[in-house]
Structure 1
Amino acid sequence: MYKTDEIIHLKKHEILEWPGDYTVLKGYVACKTAEHLVYFAKQGDTIMIPEHFSQGLLQFQVKEDTTLVSLPEEKPYVMLERRNVLKNRLMASLIMRVRFFSIPAKERLYVLLFQLGREIGIEAGTDCYIPDVLTQKEIGDYISCTREYLCTVRKQLMDEGWIDKGKGWKLLGWERWKSHWGDRFLEADNVLQNSEESLWIEPELRFHAGTSQK
């Protein structure tokens, strides 16, 4: 890991530790809390690391060699508007995370794959390919199930025609994915779009999630 005045280069699995606003120039950054995925940022996305979250509540880990640019200080009203958007995005993602653990493990995998498709997916024809940034263990950990159960559910998704039978995660019929699973994100998206309200999380907030398998 090395840092210049504006450009930061991180190796795969390293953690972005400096509070501030950043734009991803290359690579993928996973925002996590309590070892649970909150959201992914890809090339062109902006992320914010607040001072009071640098103590461990949120963790920003790069999933491949990644380059970021530190955004400069701007006029107060410009920074406030930008940070409200980023704060609202985080709040919307945390709302989704709370809902996530109230549904069965099979549905959690559907929702996780749809989230990855929305955030970092690469559309190819009618399908959506998810870059190879998560191991099967990480996916199992994120949906709170064993490796064996994940393999079972993965086979079911293949048999049902939701994902390709090859290696990796290729979501077949991306429009079908959006029509079936997009409503899970509607309320969270409404929070994200409501930029006139000050939606934020108090420093003492601690995130807890259930861990049932099915």
Structure 2
Amino acid sequence: MQFEPWFWPEFFSALNETLYMVFAGLIISVLIGLPVGIILVITRENGILQNKIVFNILSVVINIFRSVPFIILMVAITPFTRFIVGTSIGTTAAIVPLVLYTAFYIARLVENSLLEVDAGTIELAEAMGATPWQIIWRFLLPEALSSLVLALTIATIGLIGASAMAGAVGGGGIGDLAITYGYNQFKTNIMIITVITLIVMVQVVQSIGNVVSKKIRRK
């Protein structure tokens, strides 16, 4: 495939923007989603800190954000994005909707992973006199670690896809390159290379997640 001289500098700039959105978005999303997921588990019926009000409120909020397609969410929260980062256009601005989209998805994945932990483990911890905090950090999270790694792998792949969609509304990155030059200017070669790049990113993330999860299970 032949590319014009300007393409590769633009491509690597877009790639850096995508990596920035994915890594920054993932870190912030985990910092929000992990605690929320834990709260969902411990406050649910028969949880170690059962609280129906907290559980139901969080569950509804998560369902609301998970129900809205990312491209609509990104446009709908434009005023909020502008309030947080001072602008609604650009790579940094795209991180705000990316976090809202991914954090609550991670929360639900974390909830599912923690619920896979054998109830007998929790009963044993309680019989030993462990506090709720100790149960979470010394029993729940270690037992679910392998599953959590796979959950975060899935979330990261979803985040890569969402970051590409952010390009449709001025978010920058690989998606913006594909739409601006590949789609709007009918440059098939650019569209192909951007798609291949996203596929490679997903494959790398999935492979790393599988390897790390397998090593944790063996331990």
The normalised TM-score by structure 2 is 0.30
- RCO (CA 8 Å, sep 6+): is it higher in 1 or 2? 2
The structure with the greater share of residues assigned to strand is 1
The structure with the greater share of residues assigned to helix is 2
The normalised TM-score by structure 1 is 0.30
Which structure's CA Rg is the greater one?
A: 2
